[in-house]
Amino acid sequence: MAEVTVTKHGRIAVATVDNPPVNALSHAVRSGLAAAVAQADADPEVKALIVICAGRTFIAGADIREFGGPMQGPHLQDLVNDLEASSKPFVAAIHGTALGGGLEVALACHFRVAVPSARLGLPEVKLGILPGAGGTQRLPRLIGVEAALSMITEGNDIAAAKAKAIGLVDEIIDGDLLAGAIAFTEKLLDEGRPIRRTGSLTAKVENPAIFDETKAALAKKQRGFKAPLACVDSVRFAVDYPLEEGAKREYALCRELMQGSQSKAQRHAFFAEREVAKVPGLPEDTKVRDVKSVGVVGPGAMGTGIVMCFINAGLPVTLVGLDQPTLEKSLGTMRKIYGGNVTKGTMTEEALEARVGLVKTTTDYTDLKDVDLVIEAVFEDMATKKEVFAKLGKVTKAGAILATNTSYLDIDQLAEVSGRPADVVGMHFFNPANVMRLLENVRGAKTSPDVLATVMKIGKTIKKVSVLSGVCDGFIGNRMLAKRSREGMFMLEEGATPWQIDKVLYDFGFAMGPYQVADLAGIDIQYAARKARWDKLSEREHQANIVDQLFALGRYGQKTGAGYYTYDDKRKATPDPYVEDLIVKHSAARGITRRTIGDQEIRERLIYVMINEGAKILDEGIAARPHDIDIVWLTGFGFPVYLGGPMFYADTIGLKTVYDALLKYKDLVGAEFFTPAPLLERLALAGKGFYSK
């Protein structure tokens, strides 16, 4: 078959997989490999077989498009069993990545060689499943239970050198892979080395308690996820059963996970992340502008993080600040963060100096005259930002992209004062910018198509997940967050406590509740953001001024030892009766009779109000697809991946369920806050979802 060709090199047959772009294990590839195995076994002239791949990688995994549906034979389980059962030595020659089903194929071969740059892994857990073609059975037999548990439950790939050290790879090939693999195989034959079938080995476990210990650790580290715990059970099968029985149990467990809601959500997230990179209406061949140098205005925490994103990618940055001390502080922060990497051994001192050496600091805007992209990251105040953009429009060269990192403000106003609206775009990073994966790019009314294409490409360059939004108050993420924050404040007034609300969202799957986050980020920051949006708040939101009261008391959160919670010297939080008393008195002053609010109401009001706002965002064209909303919340706001994002979650529970609840809360809270969005209403009454219009 075209996807797999077999050639002879003397007594060695070479089966070459060629299924661009990543040589996925499609039906054609599985069939081709099965035929190659049968052909090699039947040909008396062939004494060994090498499995190798064309293009940029070894088999990088299963064909995910086949997930969830009937799969045509030969099944991968049968293929790997046939590979391993061969009476002739089979060698996997690995370059690029051997992932998932690709590594399972390599494990079924009797020997493995790899180039130094190769990486190997079983990432299935990240899709909410586990390796289903013997991966959890063969890997612990080859490298030991402890090492296998780490690879399988975390889903991360490892470098060829580490793979060699733990026994996963037999030899590192420097130079041409095929020539090296042939030489390795010839040596095997000359020496008469016996075939080593991985499935016949014994899974070695030094610590019998490792399974229970790993599960306990995963319950904390990957809280709420089912697949990692199932991976532990499956690896245990390799210890308790022969290969055939263990593989049957592994496959049954894999199928159970695949049919569950978590895997469906995680697979949705996987595909959605790739979908959002494609901008509807923007041709894929749109020419992009060259970006070889970057300017950042504002050396605060956000600006510093943005600088690090670009120097991490090897791009020089000119950092503009008001004075030298603030610029030096920014450089000091970078050195401190990189210094932590040096201490951990993940970066050298030379690399640290090289990165910081890419930063030029200045107080003079004219030093930006030659850069290709400038990102403004000053205080969230329209007048201040307008002043910056007026300067940038004059000092930067023609064709330079002018971007703002604003979280809420109207980009079109900034575009107009620049005098070059076609060059202006939003690039909204999330704090800390050097860590958070999301980049919310924002299209202005007059933003040029090539500017959009450029910033989407830049996101990939600096290893961000780029999502395109239209202009509105808060764009996608913060617009929805504002509605959730509003309902939280209303429920505090009505009878809930901060710690009750925090626990409900924690139990839902968020890493932290909203008031824990507020204390971490700073009540002073929340107060400033509230004041910046004052004109856009309703009268009831004005009166729900608990943030203002905490700010006036100097309770800024963790930084002052008290916010919604009190904190000890290790920043451990404790619910504060003083805050509860403050809220109770606030409710009384507002004439609100407090009541017991159940966890279900808290969960529904906080989550459903976001879903409703998401429907408005879609209807208005601010987001082109529900995928965009889900990825913003998955990568920027910590929405549980195993729930797939707010819009996918809404489809999972049914839009009619959401719609009926919105009507209930419309009567309870008010039509101003809970009237169902027209799109949500249309879809709910038609029995459809956001992904099945």
Long-range contacts of 284-290 (CB under 8 A, 24+ apart): 286/449, 286/450, 286/452, 286/453, 287/450, 287/453, 288/450, 288/453, 288/454, 288/457, 289/372, 289/399, 289/401, 289/450, 289/451, 289/454, 290/372
Which of 73, 82, 32 is CA-nearest to residue 52? 32
Alpha carbon distance 39, 36 (integer Å) = 5
Alpha carbon distance 652, 260 (integer Å) = 11
124 is catalytic: yes
Alpha carbon distance 214, 229 (integer Å) = 8
The single-letter code of the amino acid at 597 is I
- How many Å separate Cα 539 from the centre of its chain? 37
**Residues 297/392, Cβ–Cβ less than 8 Å:** yes
Which of 428, 423, 472 is CA-nearest to residue 446? 423
Please give the structure tokens belonging to residue 210: 């490792």
Catalytic residue among 3, 104, 440, 601: 104
Catalytic residue among 3, 84, 124, 250: 124
Distances (CA, A) of 135 to 76, 107, 123, 199, 212: 11, 8, 11, 10, 20
8-state DSSP, 618:
H
Please give the structure tokens belonging to residue 609: 């109000």
| End-to-end Cα spacing for the chain | 39
8-state DSSP, 195:
P
- How many Å separate Cα 404 from the centre of its chain? 23
SS3 288: coil
Which of 85, 114, 84 is CA-nearest to residue 99? 114
- Just list the catalytic residues: 104, 124
